[in-house]
Structure 1
Amino acid sequence: MISRIKRRHVIIGMLFVCWVVGFLDKTAINIAIIPISEEFGLTPDHQGMIISAFFLAYSMTQLIGGYLVDRLGSRRVLSSAVAVWSLGTVVSGAVTSAVGLAAARAVTGAGEAIFPAGGSVAITENFEKTQMARAKSVLQSGASVGFALGSIVITSLIAFYSWRLMFFALGAVGLVLAIMLYCVMPPRSDTLVAKDAGAKISEKQRIAGLLKNTLTWKIASVYFFTNIVFWGLQSWLPSYWVKVKGMSMMEMGAYSMIPPTLGFVSFLTCGWLLDRFFHQKEKYLICIGSAVSAVFIYLMANAESIPLAFAYLSVSNVFLNAISISVFVSIMKHFPHNSVGTATGLINSLAQLGSFASPMLIGAVLSATNQNYGIAFSVIVGCAVIVCAIATTFPAIHSKKIVEQTA
């Protein structure tokens, strides 16, 4: 028993570190695009397309990644995913054109697409259901740590060296982690899922059950608009702070550590709240998170003071995290173990179309309005309101009933 508990801690710790580095790789382009656009002479539309290339591949690979994790287990698929996205990051530092950079970012996105479903499957393979929200919150908090570290690490590497060396360094670290992850994770025969004597259903029944479940599509819609909000902010705020607010790269990087640092705490807190008070009531946390986020994004967009604007951004980030963790916990707790990867992949595949569209959407709005960020932020606030409206329609269905529907 002791060795199993220790192994769980090592597994979730290793997954956490991989996702920290994954988010460094994922968000590096949002800062690097500033010097890259100067070097390559990119317009806002072209910048948006390069950033969106990651999310297009990220969306397209989600479903097949989730399916592979359900079939092959998390060990082989996750370690391979980390290796693929790290290679894409290395290549990003070697490109000589905007097209090459977009292609390299697509490879990075294809690798990272597998991690959300793979991480959820790894948790269901190794943790009891009463521990899943807290385990998932630890893993999800890696995103906040990645954002916080990225703000200072990426800006420092670019400022003191170059954007190319920054990509090389991040990719090399990821390749080492891919090997370590494979060594740490157990074969599927040693996991809890392998010992679970659940009902056997055909592949056709399993997929059909997911597609016919209305909750599948409502969760996907919520996460679609949440991603427009989140990545609309992440993709364009660095340029906003530097070009509109007149911040230096280093100053912007230092300030940008604040929201994700608080977000780290919020992920852990939300995981505890979901296990303790919102079990089978995740929709209420989604409604609260989206409503509060909309208010504070609006306040951020209209704040004159930079410290005050970052304070508002920090609050909105905390509540956006509440939506994200609630979405993934809903899937893990309300769908059968043998369908968690596929369900996560399907939902995330549809939802990541929002991540893909968001940078281009905001870029197009900025181009059409002569760089009017006020209008761009209004679009983002509107999407947060839509998230709240959809979440109110979630059915109040107990876990058992949803499992029966998907089986």
Structure 2
Amino acid sequence: MFAKIQRRHVIIGMLFLCWVIGFLDKTAINIAIIPISEEFGITPEHQGMIISAFFLAYSMTQLIGGYLVDRLGSRRVLSSAVAVWSLGTVACGFVGSAFGLAAARAVTGAGEAVFPAGGSVAITENFEKSKMARAKSVLQSGASVGFALGSVIITGLIAWHSWRMMFIVLGIVGVVMSIALYCIMPPRSETLVAKSGEAKVSEKQRIKTLLKNTLTWKIASCYFFTNIVFWGLQSWLPSYWVKVKGMSMMEMGVYSMIPPTMGFISFLTCGWLLDRFFHQKEKYLICIGATVAAIFIYLMANAESIPLAFAYLTVSNVFLNAISISVFTTIMKHFPSNSVGTATGLINSLAQLGSFASPMLIGWVLAATGQNYGIAFSVIVACALVVVAIAMTFPAIHAKKNTEQAV
């Protein structure tokens, strides 16, 4: 028993490290686009399209990735996914045009699309339900660590050498991590456990019941608008700080470590809260998170002081994280365990269309309003309020059994 407990902790730790690298790769373009746009002469609209190329592929391959991890297990699928996105990141360092960069980012997005569903399946394979939210919060916190380290690592590598070398270094590290992950995770045969009370159903019926479940569509809609908020900020704030607020690249990188550092703590705290106080009540934490995030994004947009603006941004980031972990915990706890990967992939596939649309939407707003970031931030705040409205319509779930019957 002790060995089993230790092994699952090593597994979640390794997944955490891979997701740190994944978010370094995912967000590198948000900073690198500044020197890239100067080298290639890219307009704001085309910058948004390049950033969105990642999310288009990310959205399109979510369902496929979720299905594969349910069928083949997390070991082979997750390690392959890390290798694919890392090779895509390496390719970014060798491109010679904006089109080539968009294609390379699409490969990175296709690889990273598998990880959310794969991580959830790995957790259901290795953790009991009473600890799933905490395990997922550890994994999700890798995003915050990736953001925090990325601000300094990415700007540092660009300043030290070039944006091309930055992509190459990150990609090589990811390839090494994919090999280590394959070696650490147990084979599929060791994770296949009969789930009591779960009737065997055909693949067609399993997909059909997921599509018919109203909770599937409500979670997807909620996360769609959350992604517009989150990636609208992440994609355009670096340019905002440098071009509007006059910060240097390095100064922006250092300040940008603050929000995700607190976000790391918030992920772990929210995981504990969900297991302890919000079991069967995840929608209320989503509503709280979206409301507070909307308020503080508005305050950030109107703050004159840079330190105060980053303080407001930090608070909004903490509560946006509460939405994210609540969404994935809802899926893990309220859908059958043999469909967690597929459900996560389906929901995230639809929701990531918001991530795809967000950079282009904000880019279009900026182009149409003469670079008026105030209007752009107002659009983001409005989307956060939509999240509240959708989450309030989530059905009351009194027992997991009821939801599984619906699914």
For normalisation by structure 1, the TM-score amounts to 0.99
Q: 2-side partners of 1:195 and 1:216: how far apart?
A: 25
Q: 1-side partners of 2:141 and 2:265: how far apart?
A: 8
The answer to whether residue 143 in structure 2 is matched with residue 130 in structure 1 is no
Q: 2-side partners of 1:136 and 1:164: how far apart?
A: 33
1:95 is matched with which residue?
A: 95
1:112-131 equivalences in 2 (<5 Å): 112-131=112-131
1:110 is matched with which residue?
A: 110
1:85 is matched with which residue?
A: 85
1:4-15 equivalences in 2 (<5 Å): 4-15=4-15
2:319 is matched with which residue?
A: 319
2:406 is matched with which residue?
A: 405
User: Do the aligned partners of 1:65 and 1:113 also contact (CA within 8 Å) in 2?
Assistant: yes
1:275 is matched with which residue?
A: 275
Q: Percent identity?
A: 83
Q: 1-side partners of 2:212 and 2:83: how far apart?
A: 35
1:224-243 equivalences in 2 (<5 Å): 224-243=224-243
1:192-211 equivalences in 2 (<5 Å): 193-197=192-196, 198-211=198-211
1:51-70 equivalences in 2 (<5 Å): 51-70=51-70
Q: Secondary structure at the match of 1:194?
A: coil
Q: 2-side partners of 1:46 and 1:211: how far apart?
A: 35
1:253 is matched with which residue?
A: 253
Q: 1-side partners of 2:187 and 2:200: how far apart?
A: 21
Cα deviation, 1:222-273, whole Å, max 9, x if unaligned, reads 0000000000000000000000000000000000000000000000000000
1:168 is matched with which residue?
A: 168
Q: 2-side partners of 1:280 and 1:62: how far apart?
A: 26
Cα deviation, 1:118-174, whole Å, max 9, x if unaligned, reads 000000011100010000000000000000000000000001110000000000000
The answer to whether residue 22 in structure 2 is matched with residue 30 in structure 1 is no
Cα deviation, 1:80-128, whole Å, max 9, x if unaligned, reads 0000000000000000000000000000000000000000000001110
Q: Secondary structure at the match of 1:17?
A: helix
Aligned-residue CA RMSD in angstroms? Answer: 0.6
Q: In structure 1, give the amino acid aligned to 2:83.
A: A
Q: 2-side partners of 1:98 and 1:19: how far apart?
A: 26
Q: 2-side partners of 1:53 and 1:14: how far apart?
A: 28
1:209-220 equivalences in 2 (<5 Å): 209-220=209-220
For normalisation by structure 2, the TM-score amounts to 0.99
Q: 2-side partners of 1:394 and 1:405: how far apart?
A: 14
Tell me the CA shift for residue 347 of structure 1. Answer: 0.2
Q: 2-side partners of 1:272 and 1:206: how far apart?
A: 31
2:352 is matched with which residue?
A: 352
2:48 is matched with which residue?
A: 48
Cα deviation, 1:44-63, whole Å, max 9, x if unaligned, reads 00000000000000000000
Q: 2-side partners of 1:44 and 1:194: how far apart?
A: 51
The alignment covers a number of residue pairs equal to 405
1:368-407 equivalences in 2 (<5 Å): 368-397=368-397, 398-406=399-407
Q: Runs of 4+ in structure 1 displaced over 2 angstroms?
A: 193-198
Q: Secondary structure at the match of 1:304?
A: coil
Q: In structure 1, give the amino acid aligned to 2:345.
A: G
Q: 2-side partners of 1:194 and 1:146: how far apart?
A: 33
Q: 2-side partners of 1:53 and 1:308: how far apart?
A: 33
1:139-178 equivalences in 2 (<5 Å): 139-178=139-178
Q: 1-side partners of 2:127 and 2:336: how far apart?
A: 14
Tell me the CA shift for residue 189 of structure 1. Answer: 1.9
Cα deviation, 1:184-214, whole Å, max 9, x if unaligned, reads 00012212x5243432111111111100100
Q: 1-side partners of 2:145 and 2:332: how far apart?
A: 23
1:16 is matched with which residue?
A: 16
**Structure 1 residues without counterparts, runs of 5 or longer:** none
Tell me the CA shift for residue 276 of structure 1. Answer: 0.1
Q: 1-side partners of 2:400 and 2:220: how far apart?
A: 18
Q: 2-side partners of 1:399 and 1:253: how far apart?
A: 44
